Amino acid sequence: GAGVSQSPSNKVTEKGKDVELRCDPISGHTALYWYRQSLGQGLEFLIYFQGNSAPDKSGLPSDRFSAERTGGSVSTLTIQRTQQEDSAVYLCASSLGLGSGGSNEQFFGPGTRLTVL
Amino acid sequence: ELKVEQNPLFLSMQEGKNYTIYCNYSTTSDRLYWYRQDPGKSLESLFVLLSNGAVKQEGRLMASLDTKARLSTLHITAAVHDLSATYFCAVDKNTDKLIFGTGTRLQVFP
């Protein structure tokens, strides 16, 4: 009945490699978000999924970044040909969604710390 | 473009003292959120403010919202060491994605 979970907690990779980050949202939450937290840029929105609607990809920094959400639950964020500037903590959040008629409060997972050497 | 500014960026305060963190945002927003982040940890939701004049309190923390001034405050009363953390405000504009402030790193010392 836990909160949002993410894996791995830490990932070290070499420049040019692809990485996949996973997020398991809170059961019953229809909305899922990815954010990135880095020293230079603070907390930035990346991508948002709501139910069966097309995702809002407006925050993805380049076409090397993509995400999918299978079955309306688990999501995977993929970064291809990683660069050193991709090093950051990647946070996933979930919520009941705007249609919940209230706050759309987002609950965050523990994050994945990505280091690109 | 919606922008969110917090001040101060860093706050060092003595236990027992009171202080206020300010959060300004650039355009009208539907909802304002306050989060706490401990070092190496994720974001913990503190408050959700949904309307003008909203005030919420939890322990030594009280948050308020003035939508006309586009300003939210997080007031700390009689600070204790356990409140040391980084505090973020965030807003959305009916688009769901959160725009975060820069964060305020709070250190409470004896």
Write out pLDDT tens, residues A13-71: 999 999 999 999 999 899 999 999 998 778 999 999 998 888 999 999 999 999 999 88
Q: Token pair of A66, please?
A: 């993509």
> B5 pLDDT band (50/70/90 cuts)?
very high
Asked which of A14-18, B39-43, B77-81 is least confident by mean pLDDT, the reply is B39-43
* Backbone region of residue A16 per phi and psi (left: phi > 0; alpha: psi in -120 to 50; beta: other values): left
Question: Is residue B3 within 8 Å of residue A42, measured between CB atoms?
Answer: no
% of chain B at pLDDT higher than 90: 78
> B1 pLDDT band (50/70/90 cuts)?
confident
Q: Which residue has the higher pLDDT, A52 or B10?
A: B10
Number of H helices, E strands in chain A: 0, 10
Tokens 């899922």: give the residue.
A32
Cβ <8 Å between A105 and B98 = no
Q: Token pair of B37, please?
A: 């982040």
Mean pLDDT, residues A99-106: 72
Tokens 């009941």: give the residue.
A96
Cβ <8 Å between B42 and A109 = yes
CA distance B1 to A37: 20
Q: Token pair of B49, please?
A: 């403010």
Question: Is residue B35 within 8 Å of residue B91, measured between CB atoms?
Answer: no
Mean pLDDT, residues A1-20: 94
Question: Is residue A75 within 8 Å of residue A67, measured between CB atoms?
Answer: yes
Question: In 3D, which of A45, A88, A80 has the Cα closest to residue A64?
Answer: A80
Longest dimension (CA), chain B: 42
A18 burial class (0-12, 13-18, 19+ CB within 10 angstroms)? exposed
With 70 as the cut, is the pLDDT of residue A107 above it?
yes
Residue B38: per-residue pLDDT: 95
Could you tell me if B42 lies within 8 Å of chain A, comparing CB atoms? yes
> B92 pLDDT band (50/70/90 cuts)?
confident
* Backbone region of residue A12 per phi and psi (left: phi > 0; alpha: psi in -120 to 50; beta: other values): beta
With 70 as the cut, is the pLDDT of residue B107 above it?
yes
Give which of B86, B91, B97 to mutate to test A binding, by max A Cβ within 10 Å: B97
Residues 52-81 of chain B with CB under 8 A from chain A are none
φ and ψ at residue B88, rounded to 5 degrees? -120, 140
CA distance A75 to B97: 16
Could you tell me if A90 lies within 8 Å of chain B, comparing CB atoms? no
